Chain A
């Protein structure tokens, strides 16, 4: 094995793989955010809290209904997505024509309420949620030990991201959605129910966040704080990728996960801040983001 900058190559490949795994979470979450902002022009600050609700729902399904990981992967996003639809119908639909800031403030307030209530009932030390039996254990790849669950995370996240991208960019319903964002009045004139599409899209974005939450539950601490720690980084990822771009969010999510992984090897104390440094540089050079369309 050779060394790169003083780090043995085996260690480096291991860290790259771990970076890819973290990138999967960033990609999933920033995809949801990009869908909601790109399509609906809402800055959804409650995304982190909805991610946390997904994990919390999985925990509660296990505790009170005895449902394990696999059913939770489907039920939790549906439940939290339904909650998202309620939020959109009750609060967000009134803010469409206003400045983005109002949507940001509202969703930020919602996030604080959701997290505060969860903290009151569940504390902050975290709730136990074990790996599903079928994904326990791992494989020794020679340069590192890869847990099966983490490999599943990469596969699932890539699949969901690609399916979503395909739905929005290459199907007719995606075309309707993209048209409705550009010119809602005209699209309505064609007989398409635009408000319902917007509601369902918001619900879908929220369900993506909850899906990421269920996937995070077995490996990260299920605690009411888990969303707020991640949301700022995810926003940075979306900004770097370009606020309206679906593909940008996916690619940037994975790429930044890898960059963060490399930073953890060479300069671990900076691993918290490297993404923001990159965001500052990108905003100076290309204000619309790397894949952004708007000026």
Chain B
């Protein structure tokens, strides 16, 4: 009798075990800048985007449980690496998302590879992430410095801006953006007259702007982002840069930056982005839902926020297809084999070097008279198809491709 009961209990346990094997647990860690110069372009908005993606995915896949946690890397590579180590070893995080600041991203990418987790990099810009520093566990979403240089740089040189002076943020991102843009300028017949490197998170650009003015270059290329770009443009207006005949080229500008500058100061700025809230019906609907998750009325989503959403969704699809979140390399290989489709970037794909491909757009900031409301900021000037927007695979120098 007891034996039969025992056997029945064992059978029941085994059956339950088999039924529960379908349940997949995934933990996503959003490593971002919560309080410094990139906080409005990423930060809490990225966490909201990740939570939105998790909620959307769990609705259609009830057997997958997704948890989202977050941390602030404060733009310091050592804090980023420490956090990733702790997340991987102690907190069982499977995927690292966002990571604005290319210095931090380049530092954590090999750590993530070594721990066999997944790094969906939608925040950093350096094209080295899919170039010499590519990893089998890194996916680079949203944009990169090559795309920015090619989209914005080429358009400006063709429009007559053939002499450039660079104001560069003195770390990995600024150097990469300056290098890629200088290459585009020179390839299209322009000349780089000079450059100056400023520390990240500088509040006063007057001295650098003075050097830019004295170079007499037609275009002042801003190889910086976030608060640095806002300050450069604001103070440039004060020093009469535009009145003196020179123009700013915002090489990396986000919608929250344009909001902070105001249309009066930012009008006419041309730059390349891959997402704008008012682009089509799908982006508008997504923005409404992001807004509801973000709970901070008046804020606009940046393309980085969109990148976190799209990257997380595609990652979760790959996890569901494989049945487990354990093997980072296998998941990334699956992500590269599946085409991407989401309401923020549309249809696209992911290449062998980890580069996510989708269309890019050349935007121009509206004049104050043209704007119909507080979020109405951009005119679309051109659409760059996915196969032209990003660096050709063979030019990257990624060991995964050639080896």
Contacts and interface: CB of A to CB of B under 8 A. Distances in A.
Nearest to A225: B36
Contacts of A131: 238
B72 to A, nearest CB: 12
A128 B235 contact: no
Interface stretch (A39-47, A180-188, A264-272): A264-272
B203 A268 contact: no
B240 A145 contact: yes
A21 to B, nearest CB: 7
Interface stretch (B207-215, B306-314, B376-384): B207-215
Contacts, number: 105
B227 interface: yes
B210 A18 contact: yes
Contact of A125 (B170, B238, B257): B257
A15 B207 contact: yes
Candidate in B210, B211, B235, B261 with the most chain A CB atoms within 10 angstroms? B210
B207 A125 contact: no
Contact of A220 (B201, B210, B231): B231
A109 interface: no
A206 to B, nearest CB: 21
Nearest to A216: B203
Nearest to A271: B199
B206 interface: yes
Contacts of A218: 238
Given A123-B40, A145-B244, A269-B197, A128 B206 contact: no
B100 to A, nearest CB: 12
Interface centre among A15, A144, A221 (most CB of B within 10 A): A221
Interface string B241-272: 00010000000000011011110110000000
B387 interface: no
A268 B199 CA distance: 8
Contacts of A125: 39-41, 226-227, 230, 256-257, 259-260
Contacts of B107: none
A138 B240 CA distance: 8
A128 B261 contact: yes
B87 to A, nearest CB: 24
A19 B206 CA distance: 9
A171 interface: no
Contacts of A221: 203, 227, 230-231, 234, 260
Contacts of A149: 238
Contacts of B227: 124-126, 221, 223, 225
Interface string A116-136: 000100011111101100000
Interface string B1-45: 000000000000000000000000000000000011101110100
Nearest to B262: A128
B240 to A, nearest CB: 5
Interface in B289-306: 296, 299
A125 B228 CA distance: 10
Given A123-B299, A126-B227, A219 B238 contact: yes
B240 A229 contact: no
Given A11-B214, A138-B240, A124 B203 contact: no
A226 interface: yes
Contact of A150 (B35, B201, B206): B206
A221 B260 CA distance: 9
A264 B238 CA distance: 19
B317 interface: no
A261 interface: yes
Contact of A265 (B201, B211, B260): B211
B78 interface: no
A38 interface: no
B239 A145 contact: yes
A164 interface: no
A60 interface: no
A230 B226 CA distance: 18
A34 B257 CA distance: 36
A147 interface: yes
Contacts of B202: 272
Interface of B: 35-37, 39-41, 43, 170, 196-199, 201-204, 206-208, 210-211, 213-214, 226-227, 230-231, 234-235, 238-240, 244, 256-257, 259-262, 264-265, 296, 299
18 contacts: A8-B214, A11-B211, A14-B214, A119-B35, A123-B39, A125-B230, A125-B260, A137-B240, A147-B238, A147-B240, A149-B238, A219-B234, A223-B227, A225-B227, A229-B201, A229-B203, A264-B207, A268-B198
Interface of A: 8, 10-11, 14-15, 18-19, 21-22, 119, 123-128, 130-131, 137-138, 144-145, 147, 149-150, 218-221, 223, 225-226, 229-230, 261, 264-265, 268-269, 271-272
